[in-house]
Structure 1
Amino acid sequence: MAKRSRRVKDTVTEPKMSKRSRRVKDTVTELMNDDDRISRLPDDMIHHIYSFRDARSSVQSSVLSRRWRNTWKSHPRLNFENNRFSSQTSGFKYPNFAQKFLSARVHVAELSAIDFRSNSISLLLLKKILDYAMSHQTRKVNIEFLGSKQTRRGGFDLSLFRSHFLEHLCLSIDFEIIISPPLTWDLPALVHLNLDLVKIRMEPSNDSASKSIDLFSGFPNLKTLVLTRCLLSNIGTFIIASSKLEYLSLKGLYCGCKFMISAPKLASFTYYGMPQFSLIANDLLSLKTVEFGTLYHKSFDNKAQLGDQMIKTFVQLSKAETLTVNLDVLWFLLENPDLLEKRRCPFLRLQSLTLVVSKLPRCLADFVAIINFFRRGSPSIKFHLKLDSTPPIVRYRIW
């Protein structure tokens, strides 16, 4: 009787246990035979995932799936980022990795963008990356120096920049570009150009006319030009001529040259730098917005003369409808009270004036004099006051 009841019990419980075990077994089998669900993602999705990772992580992630083993070799967006501390602790030599990565990449694969950020960029590696980008129909190149000290090591000529496909170029590096006529860079598709920390140097010449340099007239599609903290060396006149240029920004330039601008479609102009700024502008018929900031100090010589030079610059930008200036600009204008009282404001179409200050002016009479100066040119002008406690040196990173 006991044996019979035990057999009945076994027949009742065995199917339940085997069903549960079967479910677990089927699940494990499914996972083992599925080859990872991420492996079944389309190539576009895989490349999109890679776009959020740097090149080193992309290579390391190839072990996650058999299908991903060589996918990094054809990724259309390359992101190189060198972290100093991780490199030192692991003994990882990033320049060697970057060169091997480019050498192992599928040569015929599309390459739409290269982003390179490092606190140490050798000239050899820089040339390697630029040459690779120019020869692979890359549309966007961004090279950024992350180091805290500027070394200005080495230089390269413009012959490296020859591509009919490059549309966006951003160089934030501590190297110099050597200019030797005739210009050899050829970027007809370029739309956006951003140069930061770059030294632009002309080779010495006895001909004074050769000190005039025109770097951008050969870019028929250029719409945005940004020059920040650049050192312009051995240049007499820096010419910016572009038929389609719409936005121009000059911040913290180290130079003693004159600027000549010819851009009939220019809508926005920004300048933050030293007060010794000489500008000759032609056909700025579309100019709408001007931002102008400088740094005032009591130790400057000929402050009244600098204020007069600033008014001459404003004459060149007189077609602007919106003007933003910092308080330091007003201090230069106030150094020449006769100028404010007798001379008419050059901005005849001005609709809005914004004054950026760190604190309110102590003397309201001076503030009223400035208002009256601008109002003589545009009686219906609207004034705006913007408080910004950040020091100009930090805000504009120009000195």
Structure 2
Amino acid sequence: MAQRKSKKICRRASEALNDDDQLSRLPDDLIQQIFSLIDTKHAVQSSALSRNWRDTWKSQSRLSTEIIRSPNRASGSKFPDFVHKFLTRRDAVAKLSTVDFRSNFIGFPLVREIISYAMSHKTRKLRIEFSGDRQTIRGELDSSLFRSRHLEQLFLRVGFGLKVCPPLIWDFPALTTLSVSRAKITLDDASKSIDLFSQFPNLKTLALDACFLFNIDTFIINSSELETLSLKLYSPSCKFVLSAPKLSSFTYSGVCHFPLSAKNLVSLKTVKFQTIYDRFVLNEDIDLMINSFNQFRNTESLAINLDTLEVLSIFLRSHGLQNRPFTRLQSLTVLSSQLPLPSTVSPSVIDYFMCSSRHLKIHIEHDPTPWRIWL
């Protein structure tokens, strides 16, 4: 009799715990916060911990996941199916504020599905990152996929092509930050002139890193709100037209052939300029670089690498100190992988800057990984 009563008490206690366990009693907003901090795949798996959590993942506002495929190609083979099921089974009306997808292998169907879903669900931050060591994917994404009135931050490190087909252009009225890395940007237009950013009225930060520009003769950057611009790219035959009255920081890393037509750079404070010099550089390329370089005359802080110093030395030996444009310069930093500086650095270059500004301070900074064109 006592044994039967004991079993009955245990059964009732078990039922009470199942119906009202500690996990289930957590506040909904706290549960949502916990789920938003973990990887999406783990969030889906965690839904099995409590009956009340069964459908919590369906309304999650964040898709964040990283998948790394091992050399034997076994790992990650089911991942595209998981992402497809996640997108198709989540609440259709729930916002997806953040998409953060990182992988060492990327398939175009999966990338297109993620982008299309993000664009149609009011996503504010989209990051797609190819983490492989080299460019392995052939093909191109059409820029017409990217159209949203809600997107604020876009980061693409894709390792393949981005095709631009006018008159279709990117339309991002809310975008403040755009970063495109390791992409071949191709213009499918006979005019060979591209203006990608005119429909970005709130763009403040723009970075093109390790990008190749193909079939583009004129690259226009016209932005009234742009504050930070970084161009680290390969563009041997492209002219840049820049108008940015609020631009305060500019970075260029590329070949000597850098034809730039800039105006309204009245707010420029900081410039980092790195180029590559070798014996095959033409005098015409040097003249182009110097002309572009001198358009940053309003800067107060300038950082240059040794190759830029070499180009300046060659130019000064041919033309002398004809003008001194950097009258506002207060700080000059020389980036070098060799300390002390090699004897080939001409003192006339330092004089070039010293004569321009009376209060100039010169710094030598060790740069163990000098910039090179990404391949």
Q: Where does residue 251 of structure 2 map in the other structure? A: 270
Q: Where does residue 188 of structure 1 map in the other structure? A: 173
Q: What are the within-5 Å matches in structure 2 for residues 157-172 of structure 1?
A: 157-172=142-157
Q: Where does residue 11 of structure 1 map in the other structure? A: none
Q: 1:228 is matched with which residue: 209, 224, 242? A: 209
Which range moves more in the overlay, 286-295 or 84-93? 84-93
Q: Where does residue 5 of structure 1 map in the other structure? A: none
Q: What letter corresponds to residue 352 of structure 1 in structure 2?
A: S
Matched, 1:132 2:94: no
Q: 1:58 to 1:333 in 2, by over 3 A?
A: same
Q: Where does residue 355 of structure 1 map in the other structure? A: 334
Unaligned runs of 5+ in 1: 1-24
Q: Where does residue 50 of structure 2 map in the other structure? A: 65
Between Structure 1 and Structure 2, whose CA radius of gyration is higher?
1
Q: 1:362 to 1:118 in 2, by over 3 A?
A: closer
- Offset of residue 200 of structure 1: 1.4
Q: 2:29 is matched with which residue: 26, 40, 44? A: 44
What is the aligned residue count? 364
Aligned to 1:252, what secondary structure does the other structure show?
strand
Q: Where does residue 301 of structure 1 map in the other structure? A: 281
CA contact (8 A) 1:340 1:373 kept: no
Cα separation, 1, equivalents of 2:35 and 2:91: 16
Q: 1:361 to 1:92 in 2, by over 3 A?
A: closer
- Offset of residue 295 of structure 1: 2.1
CA contact (8 A) 1:223 1:246 kept: yes
Cα separation, 2, equivalents of 1:379 and 1:301: 33
Q: 2:364 is matched with which residue: 378, 385, 389? A: 385
Aligned to 1:164, what secondary structure does the other structure show?
coil
- Offset of residue 90 of structure 1: 5.7
Cα separation, 1, equivalents of 2:74 and 2:162: 34
Q: Where does residue 6 of structure 2 map in the other structure? A: none
- Offset of residue 315 of structure 1: 1.9
Cα separation, 2, equivalents of 1:335 and 1:305: 12
CA contact (8 A) 1:340 1:369 kept: no
Which range moves more in the overlay, 105-114 or 308-317? 308-317
Cα separation, 1, equivalents of 2:62 and 2:365: 40
CA contact (8 A) 2:330 2:357 kept: yes
Q: Where does residue 3 of structure 1 map in the other structure? A: none
Q: 2:105 is matched with which residue: 113, 120, 143? A: 120
Q: Where does residue 3 of structure 2 map in the other structure? A: none
CA contact (8 A) 1:356 1:385 kept: yes
Aligned to 1:385, what secondary structure does the other structure show?
strand
Matched, 1:244 2:225: yes
Q: 1:258 is matched with which residue: 231, 234, 239? A: 239
Q: What letter corresponds to residue 260 of structure 1 in structure 2?
A: V
Q: What letter corresponds to residue 143 of structure 1 in structure 2?
A: I
- Offset of residue 86 of structure 1: 10
CA contact (8 A) 1:227 1:253 kept: no
Q: 1:368 is matched with which residue: 329, 338, 347? A: 347
Q: 1:75 is matched with which residue: 57, 60, 67? A: 60
CA contact (8 A) 1:308 1:333 kept: no
Cα separation, 2, equivalents of 1:248 and 1:194: 10
CA contact (8 A) 2:253 2:371 kept: no
Q: 1:388 to 1:340 in 2, by over 3 A?
A: farther
Matched, 1:217 2:209: no
CA contact (8 A) 1:87 1:94 kept: no
Q: Where does residue 293 of structure 2 map in the other structure? A: 314
Aligned to 1:335, what secondary structure does the other structure show?
helix
Matched, 1:398 2:366: no
- Offset of residue 65 of structure 1: 1.6
CA deviation vs aligned residue, 1:75-127 (integer Å, no higher than 9, x gap): 11111221213995567411111111100111111211001111222211111
Cα separation, 1, equivalents of 2:75 and 2:142: 35
- Offset of residue 389 of structure 1: 2.3
Aligned to 2:234, what secondary structure does the other structure show?
coil
Q: 1:269 to 1:76 in 2, by over 3 A?
A: same
CA contact (8 A) 1:306 1:332 kept: no
TM-score scaled by length of structure 2: 0.90
Cα separation, 1, equivalents of 2:315 and 2:124: 50
Q: 1:346 is matched with which residue: 319, 325, 331? A: 325
CA contact (8 A) 2:306 2:335 kept: yes
Q: What letter corresponds to residue 45 of structure 1 in structure 2?
A: L
Q: Where does residue 7 of structure 2 map in the other structure? A: none
Unaligned runs of 5+ in 2: 1-9
- Offset of residue 169 of structure 1: 0.6
CA deviation vs aligned residue, 1:22-58 (integer Å, no higher than 9, x gap): xxx9xx8799357442333233322332233222111
- Offset of residue 340 of structure 1: 6.8
Q: Where does residue 313 of structure 2 map in the other structure? A: 334
CA contact (8 A) 1:238 1:258 kept: yes
- Offset of residue 63 of structure 1: 1.4
Cα separation, 1, equivalents of 2:68 and 2:204: 33
Cα separation, 2, equivalents of 1:183 and 1:38: 50
- Offset of residue 300 of structure 1: 2.2
Cα separation, 2, equivalents of 1:326 and 1:343: 23
Q: 1:323 is matched with which residue: 302, 316, 319? A: 302
